[in-house]
Amino acid sequence: MAAHVAELSRRPYVVVQVVPSAKGANAGLCGTFDLATAPDGGTTLRMDGIEDQTTENRLLVSKGVILFDLIRGNALPRDESRSLILEIAEQWKSR
């Protein structure tokens, strides 16, 4: 599975970045969310919580964009993330 994710990350429109555990607590621990921007510029936010919520509310979308930037600021660059994923995949094979 990890090797598959690393391979997907080689695609030009796929970005996989890892936030190392050494970074400690970070904004990404609050739960999963997705941001989708339409060609017309409208953005939708989907959040997981007690129940899924999808919204175009500008305030919530803005908070989602800020959260994404905070998480990405702690993440490794693409190539380093791919290398770490492959390294961990190799470790799992040897167990």
Beta bridge partners of 35: 45
Model confidence, pTM = 0.77
Report how far apart, in Å, the C-alpha atoms of 82 and of each of 8, 11, 40, 49, 94 are.
10, 12, 32, 29, 19
Alpha carbon distance 8, 14 (integer Å): 7
64 confidence band (pLDDT: 50, 70, 90):
very high
Residue 29 in this model has a pLDDT that exceeds 90: no
pLDDT score at 80: 95
Report how far apart, in Å, the C-alpha atoms of 88 and of each of 17, 20, 22, 39, 71 are.
14, 12, 15, 37, 21
